[in-house]
Amino acid sequence: MSLNSYLNQILREFTEWDMFMPDMGSVPVAKPVVIRMFQKTNKDEIQDMVTTIGKNAIKDMVLFMKGNIDMNYFPKWLEIWMKTVL
């Protein structure tokens, strides 16, 4: 990968994702911390979190970044999110 390509990738990730994270209340958390939190949480609590996050937080993130939710934008947003967080 050339330096130019790498720089373009960094700038694209920043403008599409990273610059919004602090305003949305997102904070970086180390993987071991998340693992430990889930180990101390029962199945019902995890299902409740996933349901709440799936219905509210994800929708709020898309609305904040785009201003609206439409079926054309959401798959692009999801792709950006998957590339960024994984």
Tens of pLDDT, residues 23-66: 777 777 888 998 998 898 999 998 888 888 877 877 787 787 77
Average pLDDT, the chain: 80
Nearby residues of 81 by Cβ (< 8 Å), 6 or more positions away: 17
How far is 64 from 24, CA to CA, in rounded Å? 8
Q: Label residue 11 by pLDDT band (50, 70, 90).
A: confident
Q: Are 20 and 65 in contact, with CB atoms under 8 Å apart?
A: yes
pLDDT at 85: 66
Residues in the chain: 86
Q: Label residue 86 by pLDDT band (50, 70, 90).
A: low
